[in-house]
Structure 1
Amino acid sequence: MEKNNSVVAATNEKVSTAYISDDIAFSILSKLPLKSFKRFECLRKSWSTLCKNHHFMDMFRCNFLSNSHCEGASLLLFDNENCNEVLYCVSGESKVESENFSDIYVPSRLHGFGYNHVTNDYNVIQLIKVCIKEKPSYDYSGDVKEFVSYRTVPKWEIYSLRSNSWRELDVDMPSSVDCTEGTQIYMDGVCHWLCEKHKDNPIGPCLVSFYLSNEVSFTTAIPPDVDDCFDVKAKWKNLVVLNGYIALISYRKETSTFRVSILGQLGFKESWIKLFMVGPLPYVERPIGVGTKGEIFFIRKDKEVAWFDLSTQMIDVLGYTTEGFHSLCRMINYKESIVPFEE
């Protein structure tokens, strides 16, 4: 009996001497991946509110931005100059003009494009509306009614570059009404797109993720306390890959502020976290895209093109203006791959 008591006492002593102070614990937690950090929140009450601790969030942001996963990636700026479509390469502090491009076509209902590592193929995901003629109805006299009704049926399709063919997908997933530049991304074999609340999506604002390998989809709700860009009708929304994470960046024109939120784990709305609040920047006319490391590119009111660097919290001007058709500017991020396009 005495031996057992001595063991318990020794164990308690070890626990008390092994206690980690909050400062050390916070420093460790700030270096964790977001998915792991969100899991540790439930272990202590003081840890569950760390997202509201300004000191901790400063450490977390610093560590997050220092872990760049963008090696080998370049940034492209697409502009319209003197009625010619010109492609610029922006990498670091340099800007190189490239050749002219024309006749670029993007399907209006395009939802995703990416590489399927299982089939070694490139795929495109799109939603089309099929118009179906209803069967004519008859009145009591047996005559066909004068008007025949029609209904539209949504249908998902997937394109295979290898077979150069489309086929129908047997899936039921929310679609995006606003299929504009910046609302879809591809990462690690999965196509993602933003989906607002509409009649075909009663679950509300969410991120839809479609796995090319097994053609299964998941939805992740976007809580309004993380970003209410859908509720307030933000002027601009952009979905990007930021240091290996899915990030949502929104812009409110009335307040000239940007919000940056990242997702820790697909399917768990609790894993969203608000990372940055940028602004107000009253001289911003409108954003045009996001760079490979989270640089927010925008057109100033004086027509100069500039970017805001999240790491340095500084604004740099690229050295040229957009006049005339500047509304056609957009950003394209790409990364060189050793996987060839096969015909």
Structure 2
Amino acid sequence: MQSQMKKILGVTNGKGSNHVHDDIAFSILSKLPFKSLKRFQCVRKSWSHLFDNPGFMSVYGINFLSNCPNDNHISVLLWESGNQWYSLSGERFENRVMLDWPNLYPDQFNFLKFFSFCSINAILCYESNYFSKLIMDRKIILWNTTTKEMKVIPSSPFELFSPPVELNIKANVKHFARYDLHGFGYDRVTDDYKLIRRTYIQPFFTDYPNLKHYGHDNRDDPFDSDLSLLQDKFLDSFWEVYSLRSNSWKKLNVDMPNCVRGCSSSFYVYLDGVCHWLHIPHRDKYIGACLISFDLSNEVFIITPIPTIVKAQWPQLPKMMWLNKPELGVLNESMAMISYDKTMTFHIFVLGEVGVKESWIKLFTVGPLTSVKTLIGMGKKGEIFFRNKDCEIAWFDLNTKTVEVLGFKGQRFKPKDKILIYSESLLSMKRIQK
């Protein structure tokens, strides 16, 4: 490690001095990639406290943002709560074009949910949900925003369930599958697109539609013991992975908690073959608040504890999840997380190594931004998108430390707008499928 650092600093063991002044060393260190800087902290004692040095961190933050890839083919996709999609492009996102997206239920309102903060080779993954009194239909869709190619993901055979025991009740019981999709990404090793989700099998009483689907509170119910037996033995949730190449699902034999239901797309990020999401402890309390990562090639999970300051800001109850929730994103090809408090002061952390809590480093503190009402997304070059108190879409630029309003308003009572990053690609999904 030390010899590698000496090569970087130009230090020799010959007649020249083997001492480099801290100012010169810090200037060089401030330009290193994040992971390299973390490794070199052990070389000198004075370098071990670099992340506690405000002056160094200010310079490092500027250099960090200046190294962000400049890709002119990347645009911003705005999804408004009324299921309208807009492409925003230009240096200040001044170009706005409405997109004609594939709506499976054109005559009905359906709720959409996204599963990454950006597209992958122009492909977006989202879930389309249609609900009525008699029908509940959920479809997972892959859509190429450039070619308009669409793929509806087939159902999993594991969703079909018949109880192997006879229930000693008069009511008719059916079972249906619920799932929480946690990630969509590209596996470079096998040249494949994959999905990772957790599936639940739940009983439904057709003769008693007013009963809860599961976990009903009436402990004097005559068939409660039968349901408990069925739940304990046969209705355990499980993880499964979908492969576009094989167009099929497979079950994983792992014990890993899911994310609390209801998490938005801001909890899901794909980066370099790995899907990441945030876990908020609720029913699965044994692992605590953390970042969960799933390697699409090895199909293994990795847990990374989150910074204490972020965990302290998280709401404790699921019904409060939409308040002050953190966002995941990518800055300069590194995993990033934004947390904010009631004063709308934003803390931006970058992760150096998955699985290591100590590798979270707070790079930026922004605010308080009193004009912010709702955080709606994060760009790859240091943009923080939000709705202001007038319901206008605006963005804060970490490079210039300025706020700009994009010039159009959203719907005041539908605060679920999201900003997604997407790029153009003519690659067809059909080339991967068998």
TM-score (norm 2): 0.67
Q: Distance in 2 between matches of 1:292 and 1:12?
A: 42
Q: Which residue identity does 1:191 align to in structure 2? A: C
Is 2:247 aligned against 1:164?
yes
- Does the Cα contact within 8 Å between 1:189 and 1:212 map onto a contact in 2? yes
Q: Which residue of 2 aligns with 1:87?
A: 86
- Does the Cα contact within 8 Å between 1:132 and 1:153 map onto a contact in 2? no
Q: Which residue of 1 aligns with 2:265?
A: 181
Q: Which residue of 2 aligns with 1:204?
A: 288
Secondary structure in 1 matching 2:266: coil
Q: Distance in 2 between matches of 1:13 and 1:91?
A: 53
Q: Distance in 2 between matches of 1:165 and 1:12?
A: 59
Structure 2 unaligned residues grouped into runs of 5+:
1-11, 106-111, 113-125, 128-139, 141-178, 205-221
The correspondence for 2:417, drawn from 325, 329, 332, is 329
Q: Which residue of 2 aligns with 1:53?
A: 53
Can you list the C-alpha shifts for 1:83-122, whole angstroms capped at 9, x where unaligned?
5623232342222222344454626611000112233221
Of 37-46 and 212-221, deviating more is 37-46
Q: 1:249 to 1:84 in 2, by over 3 A?
A: closer
Is 2:424 aligned against 1:341?
no
Cα distance, 1:45 vs. partner? 2.6
Q: Which residue of 1 aligns with 2:227?
A: 149
Q: Distance in 2 between matches of 1:173 and 1:145?
A: 30
Q: 1:229 to 1:290 in 2, by over 3 A?
A: same
The correspondence for 2:351, drawn from 240, 263, 267, is 263
Q: Distance in 1 between matches of 2:426 and 2:99?
A: 23
Secondary structure in 2 matching 1:64: helix
Q: Which residue of 2 aligns with 1:117?
A: 188
- Does the Cα contact within 8 Å between 1:73 and 1:334 map onto a contact in 2? yes
Q: Distance in 1 between matches of 2:223 and 2:260?
A: 34
Superposition pairs for residues 1-343 of structure 1, below 5 Å? 14=15, 17-69=17-69, 71=71, 72-80=73-81, 83=82, 85-93=84-92, 94-101=94-101, 102=103, 103=105, 104=112, 106=127, 109-131=180-202, 147-150=225-228, 151=231, 152-178=235-261, 179-225=263-309, 228-230=312-314, 235-252=324-341, 254-337=342-425, 339-342=427-430
Q: 1:109 to 1:181 in 2, by over 3 A?
A: same
Q: Distance in 1 between matches of 2:372 and 2:62?
A: 25
Q: Which residue of 2 aligns with 1:3?
A: none
Query: Aligned residues: percent identity?
Result: 45
Can you list the C-alpha shifts for 1:276-296, whole angstroms capped at 9, x where unaligned?
111001121111111232311
- Does the Cα contact within 8 Å between 1:75 and 1:91 map onto a contact in 2? no
Q: 1:86 to 1:35 in 2, by over 3 A?
A: closer
Q: 1:145 to 1:297 in 2, by over 3 A?
A: closer
Q: Distance in 2 between matches of 1:95 and 1:146?
A: 58
Q: Distance in 2 between matches of 1:311 and 1:132?
A: 52
Larger strand percent: 1
Q: Which residue of 2 aligns with 1:140?
A: none
Q: Distance in 2 between matches of 1:245 and 1:70?
A: 15
Q: Distance in 1 between matches of 2:42 and 2:314?
A: 29
Structure 1 unaligned residues grouped into runs of 5+:
1-10, 134-143
Cα distance, 1:189 vs. partner? 1.3
- Does the Cα contact within 8 Å between 2:314 and 2:325 map onto a contact in 1? no
- Does the Cα contact within 8 Å between 1:123 and 1:160 map onto a contact in 2? yes
- Does the Cα contact within 8 Å between 1:130 and 1:155 map onto a contact in 2? no
Cα distance, 1:161 vs. partner? 2.1
- Does the Cα contact within 8 Å between 2:75 and 2:87 map onto a contact in 1? no
Q: Distance in 2 between matches of 1:311 and 1:194?
A: 27
- Does the Cα contact within 8 Å between 2:77 and 2:422 map onto a contact in 1? yes
TM-score (norm 1): 0.84
Q: Distance in 1 between matches of 2:47 and 2:185?
A: 38
Q: Distance in 1 between matches of 2:87 and 2:100?
A: 10
Q: 1:20 to 1:277 in 2, by over 3 A?
A: same
Q: 1:145 to 1:85 in 2, by over 3 A?
A: closer
Cα distance, 1:68 vs. partner? 1.0
Can you list the C-alpha shifts for 1:46-95, whole angstroms capped at 9, x where unaligned?
22222121110111001100001352322111124xx5623232342222
Q: Distance in 2 between matches of 1:269 and 1:127?
A: 25
Secondary structure in 2 matching 1:287: strand
Cα distance, 1:20 vs. partner? 1.0
